[in-house]
Amino acid sequence: MRHVATLTKRELMAWFLSPMAYVVLFVFLGFIGYMSFQFLSFSRRAEMSQILGFMGFIWIFILPLMTMRLFADEFDSGTIETLMTAPVTTLEVVLSKYLASLVFLLVLILPTMLYAAILFVYGKPDPGPIVAGYFGLFLLGAFYLAVGLLASACVRAQVAAAIIAIVLLLALYILGYIIRPEAIDPLSKTLRYMSFSQHFFGSFTKGILDTRDVLYFLMTTVFCIFLTTVIVTVRRWR
């Protein structure tokens, strides 16, 4: 694992030298700033639940656009061969790409905390739900990135990788709402548990910090990273 830091720096340079990263960053922050103003003006309450929930939803469409190139571009251009012939393991390559994407996720999140700071200046919000909401938002974004990374490892076309990730995330999101809460049969309970919407929108945005929800995001994220490593290894030796 000693090469992860070096590879992560390489990936970060690719992230922040990409014009698309800055376009996404400024468009996202501008849009969220406008929507935050609208939510607060409408609700007249010093809380962030609506804003955080909205951010968690639109990330379904934004984050896959940022992860679509991570492996798809490497396989399409053939640079994956050069990378893999270096004295590094597949897991190190996967982790470096994922860690670099997490840094960009933090770059997206941190400026939005200004809106929370404004609430504390002009109001008296409950800090508990805000802290829990941001913690859940980071876990949610980390999960989205892992799914996007997995999709990127499966195909050569970047657009296809983005579409696969978006469709999968939308399916998991909708799954939590089409299964009736009163359904208690094992299949319904399993499908409802699989949906991240129940774990984030139903808990974290309400200020509920449940270890079961934390474990859900940690396990699904690790599972996606594991699958990505397996797929890249298989494609590497084809």
Q: What is the domain range of residue 44?
A: 4-236
How much is the pLDDT for 101?
Answer: 92
Pair 149, 228: CB distance under 8 Å? yes
Return the closest-CA partner of residue 105 out of 71, 144, 76.
144
Two tokens at 206?
A: 């309400």
In angstroms and rounded to an integer, the radius of gyration of the C-alpha atoms of the chain is: 19
How much is the pLDDT for 85?
Answer: 64
How far is CA 153 from each of CA 138, 141, 230, rounded to the nearest angstrom?
Answer: 23, 18, 10
pLDDT lower than 70: segments of the chain? 1-2, 43-46, 78, 81-86, 179-185, 187-188, 237-238
- Coarse DSSP helix, strand, coil percentages of the chain, rounded to the nearest 5 percent: 80, 0, 20
Tell me, yes or no, if the pTM score tops 0.85.
Answer: yes
How much is the pLDDT for 184?
Answer: 66
Pair 113, 73: CB distance under 8 Å? no
Give 123's DSSP letter: S
Look up residue 22 and give its amino acid: Y
- 179: phi then psi, degrees, rounded to nearest 5: -85, 120
How much is the pLDDT for 86?
Answer: 66
pLDDT digits (tens, 9 = 90+) for 214-229: 999 999 999 999 999 9
Two tokens at 104?
A: 């960009």
How much is the pLDDT for 227?
Answer: 95
d(CA 72, CA 153): 6
How far is CA 229 from each of CA 8, 81, 95, 154, rounded to the nearest angstrom?
Answer: 16, 15, 9, 11
Provide the 3-class DSSP secondary structure of residue 1. Answer: coil
How much is the pLDDT for 76?
Answer: 73
Give 111's DSSP letter: G
How far is CA 236 from each of CA 80, 85, 231, rounded to the nearest angstrom?
Answer: 8, 10, 8
3-state secondary structure 139-199: HHHHHHHHHHHHHHHHCCCHHHHHHHHHHHHHHHHHHHHHCCCCCCCHHHHHHHHHCHHHH
Q: How many domains does the chain have?
A: 1
